[in-house]
Amino acid sequence: MTSRAEASPGTFLPMKRSTKTTSTSRRPQWLAPTGLILLSLIPVLAGASRLTELTSGATVTADNSRFFDSPIPVVLHIIGVTVFSLLGAFQFVPSLRQRRSWHRIAGRILVPAGLIAALSGLWMSVFYPLPPSDGQILLVLRLIFGGAMLASLVLGLVAVRRHKYVRHSEWMTRGYAIGVGAGTQALIMLPWMLLIGATDATTKALLMGAAWVINLAVAEYVIHRRRAGSSRGLSRTSGRSARSDALVS
């Protein structure tokens, strides 16, 4: 999902560095993807549990009746989120981003999966009966962030078709941040429930909204770091070019 310039598709790594620097940088390159995979496992496992419930003839209750009444949207949502969150984590591995074929093939899977996840999530928010534990505030937040995820993916797709690869990377990063929001929500809400107790509708909405905001803040930080790295790389290149011109003249 990352890129350093608009120059050509598939050019997703900073300028070539020395062998020593490259070998050193390989060590932590899996830290971020591993963290994202672990974060994604929370909603993925919850989705797998929901699919098992739907396919095993579990008891219908007030909490799950809406899924049994209309299972297709939730099944599509679970599949879309699972593919988008897990496969998307590998887009943050520099050695994989360097492979143009990998990035393109993964992208052609990720974008449809993300769109399915966003659209099905919006559909469920609008048409499923609202559980009493959720409330209107959470409904509004789901529509806002679900719409933001959808818009980010569409803008990312438009950008790559226009060969705006940096913009594509930035919008896809924002869309991914929203898409894995459920993992951050679990990390925030679980300690709250253990230390303070059950949440009411307003508290639940505020905690879940805070998780989306945190993810987007991290995404913007990552985007800022990429821009700063690209600027430094271009500055070093311009400096070397200027010195070479001075020597020639």
Task: Report which residue type is found at 62.
Answer: A
**Confidence at 26, pLDDT banded by 50, 70, 90:** low
- Rounded distance, CA 156 to CA 178, Å? 14
- Comparing 182 with 6, the larger pLDDT belongs to 182
More confident residue, 221 or 30: 221
**To which residue do tokens 């993810």 refer?**
215
Paired tokens of 86: 């897990």
- Average pLDDT estimate for 51-78: 92
Contact predicate 183/43, CB 8 Å? yes
Q: What is the pLDDT of residues 81-136, one digit of tens each?
A: 999 999 999 988 877 777 778 888 999 999 999 999 999 999 999 999 998 889 99
- The C-alpha atoms of residue 116 and residue 155 are separated, in whole angstroms, by 15
Structure tokens at 54: 């739907």
Contact 153, 175 (CB under 8 A): yes
**Cα(94)–Cα(106) distance, integer angstroms:** 14
End-to-end alpha carbon distance in the chain: 41
Give 246 or 66, the one with higher predicted confidence. 66
pLDDT at residue 121, as a whole number: 97
Task: Specify whether the CB–CB gap between 68 and 54 falls below 8 A.
Answer: yes
What is the signed CA dihedral for 48, 52, 53, 58, rounded to 10 degrees? -160
Give the Cα separation of 48 and 37 in Å (integer): 15
Q: Which positions ≥6 away from 231 have C-beta within 8 Å? A: none
Structure tokens at 109: 């899977």
To the nearest 10°, report the CA torsion of 91, 97, 103, 107.
30
Q: Which one-letter DSSP state was computed for residue 164? A: -
Band of residue 232 on the pLDDT scale cut at 50, 70, 90:
low
Q: What tokens were used for 243?
A: 């010195």
- Report which of 214, 157, 166 is spatially closest to residue 188, judged by C-alpha positions: 214
Torsion, CA 207, CA 210, CA 212, CA 216, rounded to 10: -160
